[in-house]
Amino acid sequence: MFRFSTAGESHGEALVAMVSGVPAGVEVDPAFISREMWRRQQGYGRGGRMRIEQDQAHILSGVRHGKTIGSPIAMTIANNDWKNWQEILPVETGDAAKHKAVASPRPGHADLAGALKYDFKDARYVLERASARESAARVACGAIAKSILLPLGIEVASHVIRVGEAELSRPATFAEIRAIAGREQVMLACVDPGDEARMKAEVDKALRTGDTVGGIFEVVVHGLPAGVGTHVNWDERLDGLLAQAVMSLQAVKAVEIGRGVTAASSQGSTVHDAITYAGEEPAEHYTRFTREQNNAGGIEGGMSNGEDVVVRGYLKPISTLRRPLASVSFETREVTKASYERSDVAVVPAAGVAGEAMVALAVARCVLEKFGGDSLRELRRNFEGYCEQIRAF
Ligand SMILES: Cc1cc2nc3c(=O)[nH]c(=O)nc-3n(C[C@H](O)[C@H](O)[C@H](O)COP(=O)(O)O)c2cc1C
Ligand SMILES: C=C(O[C@@H]1CC(C(=O)O)=C[C@@H](OP(=O)(O)O)[C@H]1O)C(=O)O
């Protein structure tokens, strides 16, 4: 069974990532994992922490001579900031007297609900794990998922389509989205070059006023054949699995598949993607049945339909404000300002990269469930046999 999990606190020694159920023989390139983690650290509007971290995954198990061997893959990702927190966080070696409590919970964070739930008078113990620092470990796991999908010709990429009030352009083809996702520009990652100025202005406005912004990222899966996922059980539907995967990311508050949101206020004749028939032999993973548009976002009846799978994640504005909202002191019960140390102001590109990882992990799970195989060779044989079958349909 393909699954993954993470452990680690934001300012603890390291994050831990574990992926199991990976077939043997899958190439795992540490440079590729590092590159994915680097991508998650980019974007205009990130705070001081990103200047401290240089994420790298250290592989402890499951990979020999650059290829998976079927056993669980364990990885650690160091938190460079840990050395600055050893005395602040009351870990065994730390000095509890120097501990910096978060004593007035921050609206929009897990602070208050977590303090109540776990009986803490200090939200520090909650925020350490609630922090989106954890998404770095998900990206390491996602890089493994992408490494399984890529030899099958299945690619995942993301781009930003909204930052605050600025609506950005949507490229027409996957090749363009892939190019935007792979941009080297450090500050404007995952943003179409034509949109940079507007995106930057939107973030600058928030920076000036001590406020924050949210936005929308879009993840696209290209090359997934029709029939992955199923309509037969609610918890095996591809749309449901993708929604959970993306919604589980920190600050994501809505998930949309294809034209899901505007479809609700449109007529059926304009929404549904008419089916046509191309007589000639289709390429690779495709069939003779084609569509001229993809409002369904590549999923009908909980299954991929052969078109690009399009999933959008809607992010609320970042919760920690330089001009904090009102809160209440756990100690005195007096109304005070919410705690503030430092914070990101906008994270849409970074969240999009984490979204890619979650989508790749969900798709890899469905692909492995459908095609099986303990080795990449076996998986590929099963996958190609099926593709041949649907090409001939
Ligand atoms: C990549 C990324 C970076 C984030 N950075 C911050 C941050 O610096 N400050 C902040 O208040 N929230 C940040 N968040 C969002 C919080 O982690 C999140 O809103 C909080 O844990 C509460 O969880 P919820 O919004 O999912 O309910 C970030 C989210 C992501 C995806
Ligand atoms: C560390 C990361 O993001 C962090 C997510 C985060 C939050 O509250 O979610 C708060 C900030 O951490 P800090 O309080 O240390 O400045 C971000 O930097 C990361 O993305 O790697």
- Return the number of other C-beta atoms located less than 10 Å from residue 227's C-beta: 17
Three-state secondary-structure class, residue 173: coil
For 3-392, CATH number out of 3.20.20.140, 3.60.150.10, 3.40.50.970, 3.30.70.270 equals: 3.60.150.10
Ligand 1 centre distance from Cα of residue 159 (Å): 19
Question: Residue 129 is inside which H or E element, if any?
Answer: helix 124-130
Which of 80, 78, 104, 82 has its CA nearest to residue 91? 82
Sign of CA dihedral 123, 125, 126, 131: positive
Question: CA 307, CA 183: separation in Å to the nearest integer?
Answer: 25
- Whether the CB of 350 sits within 6 Å of ligand 1: yes
For helices 30-40 and 135-149, angle between their N-to-C axes, nearest 10 degrees: 130
* 345 neighbors 318 (Cβ within 8 angstroms): yes
Atom 3 in ligand 2: residue holding the nearest Cα = 133
What are 26's two structure tokens?
């899958």
Whose tokens are 């980019």? That residue is 42
Atom 1 in ligand 2: residue holding the nearest Cα = 133
Domain assignments of the chain as residue spans, ordered by start: 3-392
Q: Residues of 345-380 as b/e, b for ≥16 C-beta within 10 angstroms? A: bbbbbbbbbbbbbbbbbbbbbbbbeebebeebeebb
To the question of whether residue 301 is assigned a binding role by annotation, the answer is yes
Which of 157, 162, 256, 252 has its CA nearest to residue 216? 162
Probe target for ligand 2 pocket from 10, 320, 322, with the most ligand atoms within 8 Å of CB: 10
Question: CA 113, CA 100: separation in Å to the nearest integer?
Answer: 20
Per-residue pLDDT of the chain (393 residues; tens, 9 = 90+): 999 999 999 999 999 999 999 999 999 999 999 999 999 999 999 999 999 999 999 999 999 999 999 999 999 999 999 988 876 665 555 566 667 788 899 999 999 999 999 999 999 999 999 999 999 999 999 999 999 999 999 999 999 999 999 999 888 899 999 988 888 765 566 788 888 888 999 999 999 999 999 999 999 999 999 999 999 999 999 999 999 999 999 999 999 999 999 999 999 999 999 999 987 888 888 899 999 999 999 999 999 999 999 999 999 999 999 999 999 999 999 999 998 989 999 999 999 999 999 999 999 999 999 999 999 999 999 999 999 999 999
What are 169's two structure tokens?
């352009």
Nearest-atom number in ligand 1 for the CA of 110 is 22
